[in-house]
């Protein structure tokens, strides 16, 4: 229940961020070519929003099993090998998320003193998009590993394929 609410909130946030980015970029183009002026902060803010869009989108895609995978290879394996492959895959991805979160946290702390040239935003806020993404994906992977260890993951879910809820 909470997970579905959180994912829905992230999807709404993605729509809002995309809308802001479109308005900033399109408005800046119209102002630049039509009126020989522009929005000073448009390019910088659009770049920051694009980073957040990409990384929050990756988190939502992970929840929806929409990332690319090697499902045809895993499907060809016997069930015990599928279990090992899924467990190893989730464990390796969790390790990568841990490294990303650790490195990003260090970068965010350092970058809080640095300011963006035009808007003056702390760059740590911009870089924290990767921290949110890596911690969110790690939570999804931990849940998957827990289900595998406790035997609550059915054989059908061992091969990661996009869910039907992907719109």
pLDDT of 140 reads: 94
Q: Please, which contacts does 104-110 make with residues 24 or more away whose CB atoms are closer than 8 Å? A: 104/128, 104/130, 104/131, 104/134, 105/131
CB atoms within 10 A of CB 136: 22
CB atoms within 10 A of CB 54: 13
Question: Structure pTM?
Answer: 0.86
* pLDDT tens string 78-96: 989 999 999 999 999 999 9
* pLDDT tens string 13-49: 999 999 999 999 999 999 888 888 888 888 999 999 9
- Give the closest residue to 130 by CA, choosing from 48, 74, 69, 72: 48
pLDDT of 166 reads: 47
């Amino acid at each position: 229940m909470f997970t579905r609410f959180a994912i829905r909130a992230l999807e709404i946030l993605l729509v809002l961020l995309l809308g802001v980015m479109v308005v900033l970029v399109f408005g800046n183009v119209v102002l630049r070519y039509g009126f020989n002026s522009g929005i000073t902060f448009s390019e910088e803010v659009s770049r920051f929003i694009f980073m957040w869009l990409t990384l929050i989108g990756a988190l939502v895609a992970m929840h929806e099993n929409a990332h690319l995978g090697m499902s045809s290879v895993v499907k060809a394996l016997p069930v015990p090998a599928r279990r090992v492959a899924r467990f190893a895959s989730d464990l390796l991805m969790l390790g990568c998320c841990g490294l990303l979160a650790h490195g990003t946290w260090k970068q965010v702390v350092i970058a809080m003193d640095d300011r963006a040239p035009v808007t003056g935003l702390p760059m740590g806020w911009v870089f924290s998009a990767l921290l949110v993404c890596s911690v969110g994906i790690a939570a999804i992977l931990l849940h998957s590993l827990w289900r595998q260890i406790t035997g609550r993951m059915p054989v059908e879910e061992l091969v990661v394929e996009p869910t039907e809820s992907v719109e």
